[in-house]
Structure 1
Amino acid sequence: MNKLLWFFLCLYVLGLTASQELTCVNKYVGDSYTMTLNSPEQDGDMLVWKCSDKVIYKRRKGKIDPTADVDMQGSLTLTNISKSMACTYKAEHHDKGGKILKIHATRLCVFSRTPDPKLEVECSLGVATLQCGPKSSPEGITLTWFHNNIEMTNETSTPLKPQKPGPRDRYKCRLSNGHDMKDSNEETVSCEVSDGKLICIEKQVMVVVLAGVGFLLLVWTLLLVIVSCRNCGHQKRKHDSEELWAHGSSATETSCS
């Protein structure tokens, strides 16, 4: 009767645990964590640890297979935690008669550490480019841009090139791992080009264009000179050849007479 009561009680507890939404124990990638059971080992007992439905540790009558970092009190320790280790961990400890000594359930959630974002602004010819660093972030990190403290829902990548920012437009970026978040420094972005600078830029462009045109004219002149020289040389060789032929003909006629 007592065994039957214990059986139904176990079913009730396990069903209650499964139906409830366990609160996450939040850990970061690379952390360590111990799930305390406080159920001392006994002769002929059986202890099972599961990650979701997969058995990761089983001890029965002194034989252990598979193995894990479990101490004499039945507590499970996880080291160098990775995202693949996120699951609901469950433990059942039975005595040699099958009676449940202890049950346990822990939901483990694993996050990447959120790096510290840094906003950098570059201006070129009146166009602003915003870079949210670091350049490489861990897996699972999301980026959000803010313009005057309003989220830019359609912008989730870096770099960002805002359309014609005004002299008082402020921007910042936010990195989040789904558990916590960090904001960058906020910068006032103004890349307007003044009339003086614009005239200077136009002059620089004009100088570059004129220099290019001058270079092309120089190349064209050199080509004309080379072609002309080749034509002159060809005509001179032709003239010399004709004179030589004429002299040769005259000498032949004189000898014959």
Structure 2
Amino acid sequence: MRIFLERVDMEQVDFSGLDFDLFYAAGSNFVRCDFSDAKFFQLGFGQPQVQKDYRRAIAVSDPRYPQTIYEDCVFRRTRFDPANTSFGSARFIRCLFDRAWLREIFGTHSAEFIDCRFVGKIVECNFFGTISDPDTAKRVGRTTNAFRGNDFREADLIWVGFREIDLDAQRWPESNDYAILRDPPARIEAAIEKAHATLVGEDLEGVVSALAVLARVHANRRQTLLKRWELLPEMPAGIQARIWELLVPPGS
């Protein structure tokens, strides 16, 4: 099925189990719609602009659609194709993503999430509180994304990034494998000093080297979400364990 929904209002529509070769929405509103078990190949949750001339690419100066809104919608076991999914200029309010196929999806630079609930694995995805690309900001008409009140307590976050997002405004898994690191540059510098005071030899060299990499990764960030065993790719388990102890002391 191929569908392009432009400036429509849809309420309590059952899309469950449908197989979409193409699904694009623009300037539309979806309220209490069910996308459970639906499959999407080419997906644009919210087209930001009107294509005035199909013989050329959409220009930054072309007219904008209103933001597409999904409110109280359900995405249960919904399948998204990682290479062909763009969240675009869409806002999700109180939506449920229950074991939806959120894997390696990077087209979320201008998507907004408010009071949504996430259940199951989320793998190698990024969420953004600011829109850093000037052209994207012009296309959607803003430089920030609303991202607050989201519930990740039942989610398994695997290499997931939260960029310029207020982490204290979300709910996180109640597990000792997650920690919010506030003022990362200062905390990492303190960990390096503690490593010099408590470690020697190869342990000291490996830990300090890895902490220096982390310092570059998290430079200029006010806070960051850490997950045990995912501090840096290909970091030996022993080094990760020592760094976790330095950055996230027991009881902190």
Q: Computing the radius of gyration over CA atoms, which structure comes out larger, 1 or 2?
A: 1
TM-score normalised by structure 1 residue count: 0.19
Q: Going by fraction, where is helix more abundant, 1 or 2?
A: 1
TM-score normalised by structure 2 residue count: 0.19
Q: Which has the higher contact order (CA 8 A, sep 6+)?
A: 1
